[in-house]
Structure 1
Amino acid sequence: MKLLPLAALISTTLFASAAVHAADWPEGFSKCAAQGGTCDVGASKRKVSFGIKNKWVVKSLSGKVACTVATFGSDPYPSLDKKCALGPLDGGTTPPTTPPTTPPTTPPTTPPSDTDPLTQAAPATGWASHGTGTRGGAAAAQKDVFLVSTPSQLLAALKTEGGKPVQIKVYGTIDMAADGPFKSVADQGVRSLISLPSNSTLIGVGPNAGIVNGRIMIKGVDNVIVRNLTIANPCDIAPVWDPKDTSTGNWNSRYDGMNVDKSTHVWIDHNTFTDAPRTDDQFPKENGKLKQCHDGSLDIKNGADYVTVSNNVFKLHEKNTLVGSSDDTTTDDGHLTVTFHGNHYLDITGRSPRVRFGKVHIYNNYFQGDRDAKLYPHHYSIGVGYKAKIVSQHNAFDVLGAKECGDVVQASGSSSKTGAIVDSGSQLNGAALGMGGESCKFSNAIGWTLPYTPAVIDASKVRESVLRNAGAGKLSVR
C-alpha cells in the first residue's frame, strides 16, 4: 500500500472570519471532545476539527483521537482551550452535512423551521401537540448539536447540562454491543441503555441510520423527539421461563426497543421497529416453546402523557405495544394520552396497541398480517383492556383469515375489567369493520373528546398513504 505524503493527509489551513457570531467548528461538524479529551472517530476516517472562535485545524483521522495540539500539529488559538468536532467521512459516502470552506459570517436570523426534520414540532394532529407542544431539541445551540456513529459518541452526547436542548444525529448503524457480546444480564442492562434527557431530539441521518443491541429509555422527562431510525428490538440474553404466564408465551424478557415511562410531550415519528435480523424462528425450543427473547417494540406506561406515535413501521414482532403496564396501576387512569396515526403494522402478532386506562386515539393506521402465518401469525391488533378509552377512526385492516371485527379488535384481560371504544369509518379487508356487531360488543362510554382536529383520510386511501410515507429513511435530514 502506497503511503501518501503527510501534507496530503493533514489540512493545516486555519479558517478565520470576522463573524459577529464565532463558531467553534465548521458548519455541519458536531462536537466530540474538549481539549485534553478523546474523540471516538470510529474505524473509518473522518474530518476532525480542532479549534475555537472561527479558527480551527482540520485533519483526516480514525480511531481514538486525542484532542490535543500534538495530534493536530498546530495551535489555532494559543490563549484558549480548544474543542474537537467530527465532520463527514473522508472519501466514500459522505453524510449530508458537508461543511463549507469557510464558516458562516452571520448568525441565523430565522426561527427554527416547521418543515426541517431537525427542528419540526409535533404536528397539531396528535396528543404531543397538547399544552406546551413538543419540539425536542429544536432550540439547541450549535455546540449542542452532535453527529454520532459509535456507542461512546452517542452516550457522550446524551450527557447534557441541566436539560439544555440537544440534537443528536445518528449516522449509520450504532451497535451498543460493539465492544463485544453482552457477558451477563447486568452487563446487558448497562451497555444497552440509551437514556434520553428532556428537550432532546434523537434523529437518523440518511436511509441507514439505526440502533442495534440497544434500548431507548424515555423516563421521567419532558419534550423528547425520536425520528428516522431503524430500531432492532433488543434480544434478552437470559429470558425467564414462567409456566403460569401464558399471556407472554411463558417466556419473559426484560427489554423493549423503546420505553416511554412517566414522561410528557413525546413524539415518535418515522421510525422502523423490527425483530430482524434476530427473528423468533432463529431460536431453539425449550419447555416445548420457542425461547422468546424479545419483549415489546414500544411500551408507554406509568402516567405518560401527550405522546404521538406517527408514521412508523412496526414489523416482525409478537408483543408490540402496551399502553399502561398493569390493571393494578390505577394511577394511570386519566393519563396515558396517546395518539397513533399513519403507522404500518406488518406481521405483528398482537398489541397494536393493547390499552389500559388511556385516552388513546388510533386513526389512519394500516394493519397487515396473516392469521395462519408460520412466523408472527396475527392474533389481534387493537386490545381494549381495563378502563381503556379509545377513539378509532378510519383504520384499514388487511388481514388474511380475518372474517369479523373480533378478529382484529379484542377485549384484553378479564371479563370483569373491561374498556370502551368507539369507531368510525374503519375497514376490514375492504368492508366496513362492523364495530358493535356480535364479535365486537364494547362499551362506547369513552368520556372524552379530541382536544385537536386530526387530518383524517378515508380508510380506502390509508394503505397507499401509509406505504408511501411510513418508516425510517423517509426524512431528509442534514
Structure 2
Amino acid sequence: MRLHIWHAHAITAAVGCTALVLGVTGTGVAQSQGRDLGRQVLGAGDGWGSAEGGTTGGSAADTEHVYTVTTWAEFKTALRAGGDAPKIIKVKGMIDAVSEGCEAFVTGGYDLQQYLKDYDPAVYGNDKIAMGPQEDARVASAARQDAEIKANIPSNTTIVGVGKNSGILGGSLQIKGVSNVILRNLTIEAPLDCFPKWDPTDDNNTGNWNSEYDAVVVFGTDHVWIDHNTLTDGRYPDSERPSYFGKVFQQHDGLTDIVRGANYVTVSWNSFKDHDKNMLIGNSDSTATTDAGKLKVTMHHNRFDGILQRSPRVRFGQVDVYNNHYVVTEEQKDDYYVFGVGIRSQLHASDNAITLPASASVGKALKKWNESPLTAQNNYVNGKLTDLIAVHNAEIPSEILQSGAGWTPTLRTKVDSPRAVPGIVANRAGAGKVC
C-alpha cells in the first residue's frame, strides 16, 4: 500500500457542482486552495445528508490516514487501518474483487451442471426448498465469495476515485452500522453472484433464482453522501444471463440499497446504468421499529439509463427525489416502473424528467405497493408536463394513488427546470465528471 503525504488541511464544501475550497491565512481570512476531492464535504443545504451536523467523511484525516490503493487487498487493508479515525482512501485504476474468477470460491464439490440436474423441477418438484449435497456445496461456496467480496466501510471515511477511470469491479461496499461516509468519483460494477440459489417454491411454486450482493448497501448508518459515481452491470448485463428451468439465472441484486434505519443520505449526480433492481429504500414491510422516522434520503441530478424498477422503491422513508432523468428502453417498456410507493412512505418526487418509448405506458412510471400518499408535481415525460398520479390512476384504476406526501422539502440546492435536466445530467452525472 502506498501512503500519500498531505501538507494542507483545507476543507472543501461541495455545493452542487461548485467546490468552495477554504483555507485560512494568518489573519483568519478565507482563501482559495487547490482542489482535492478527498477533502471535500457535502455542502450546506444539499439534501438530507446535510442535516444534523452534515456529512464530512474523512476530510479531516491526518497524513497517516490518507491512502492510495491499486488492489482489492490493499483497499480492504486501508479500510481496517486506524479504526474510526478519519481516513481518505484513493482508488487508483479499476480494482477487481474477483480477479481469480468464480472458480476460486468453489468448494465442497459444487458443480452447476450437477446442481441443475438435482433440482430440475421435473425431478425434484416444486413443493419444498432445495436440500441435499449440491445445495450444501452451493452454500459453502457462496460463503467463500461473501467473505472475499464484501468490504466494510468504517465511520469517518471518504473513498474517491483517482481521475476518470477508477473504481471497483465485483465488490460489495458495506456501509453498515457506522456514521459519516462519502463515496465519490467511482465506477462501480455490480457484484456478480457466482452461486445463485434455486428456490423451487418461489413465485407461486413455479420456482425462481435468487441472488445476493448489492453494489452499495447503506445499512443502519447515518450521514452518507454518494456523489458522481457510475454504477452499472458492466461486463455482465442481465440481458446476457442464461435461463434455467424457464427462469433467468439471476446473478445481480441491488445497485444502491438504503435500509434498516439508515438516515440522512444524499445521492447526487450519479449515473445508474443498465440494471434491474436499482435502489431500495427500506427493505421490508415489517421493519417499522427500525425504519419509522428514519430513511430520510435525497436523490437529485442522477441519471438512470436502461432502468427497470426501484428508482427508488420506498418504504417508511421521507424521500425527496428531484431533478433526476429516467430513461426506459424499448425492451424494458412492458415491465418497468420508476417510483415504487411502499408502506408508510412519504415520497416527494418533483421536477424530474422521464424518457419513454413512444408506445410505453406513462402510468407505469408509478407503482403502488401499499396505501401511501405521495407528492408528484412538475414532472415531465418526453418533454411534456405530466401529472403522473392522474395518468397512473386513469391507466391503472385498480391501483389508485392518493396525492400529498404531507411534507415539503427544504434541503435543496438549485432546482433546475426539468426540461433542462436531461442535458444537464448527461453532461455532468457520473464518475469522471466532478467539476
Task: Report the TM-score when normalising by structure 1.
Answer: 0.73
Structure 1 residues 24-173: aligned runs within 5 Å: 32=1, 85=2, 108=8, 111-114=10-13, 115=19, 116=35, 117-123=37-43, 124-173=45-94
Which residue in the other structure is 2:340 paired with? 383
Q: In 2, distance between residues paired with 1:249 and 1:219?
A: 31
Contact 2:11–2:41 (CA under 8 A) maintained in structure 1? no
Q: In 2, distance between residues paired with 1:253 and 1:325?
A: 15
* CA distance 1:172–1:386, change in 2 (3 Å): same
Which residue in the other structure is 1:300 paired with? 258
Which residue in the other structure is 1:349 paired with? 308
User: Aligned partner of 1:182: which letter?
Assistant: F
Contact 1:194–1:217 (CA under 8 A) maintained in structure 2? yes
Q: Does 1:266 align with 2:224?
A: yes
Q: Offset at 1:296?
A: 0.5
Which residue in the other structure is 1:29 paired with? none
Q: Does 1:470 align with 2:429?
A: yes
1:237-274, Cα deviation, whole Å (9 max, x unpaired): 11122355449993211110110000000000111111
Higher Cα Rg, which structure: 1
Which residue in the other structure is 2:105 paired with? 182
Q: In 2, distance between residues paired with 1:196 and 1:273?
A: 18
The match for 2:387 among 418, 430, 434 is 434
The match for 2:242 among 284, 287, 305 is 284
Q: Does 1:458 align with 2:417?
A: yes
Q: In 2, distance between residues paired with 1:251 and 1:408?
A: 26
Which residue in the other structure is 1:228 paired with? 185
SS at match of 1:191: helix
Which residue in the other structure is 1:241 paired with? 198
1:361-384, Cα deviation, whole Å (9 max, x unpaired): 0000000112x41x7965111111
Q: Offset at 1:170?
A: 0.2
Q: In 2, distance between residues paired with 1:344 and 1:444?
A: 25
Q: In 2, distance between residues paired with 1:467 and 1:128?
A: 24
Q: Offset at 1:168?
A: 0.2
| Root-mean-square deviation over aligned CA pairs | 2.2
Greater RCO (CA < 8 Å, at least 6 residues apart): 2
Structure 1 unmatched ranges of 5 or more: 1-31, 33-84, 88-102
* CA distance 1:190–1:241, change in 2 (3 Å): same
SS at match of 1:432: strand
Q: Offset at 1:418?
A: 1.6
Which residue in the other structure is 1:41 paired with? none
* CA distance 1:147–1:474, change in 2 (3 Å): same
Q: Does 1:368 align with 2:327?
A: yes
User: Aligned partner of 2:219: which letter?
Assistant: D
How many residues align structurally? 369
Q: Offset at 1:162?
A: 3.8
Contact 1:163–1:199 (CA under 8 A) maintained in structure 2? yes
Structure 2 unmatched ranges of 5 or more: 14-18, 20-34, 107-140, 394-399
* CA distance 1:442–1:409, change in 2 (3 Å): same
Contact 1:347–1:377 (CA under 8 A) maintained in structure 2? no
User: Aligned partner of 1:265: which letter?
Assistant: H
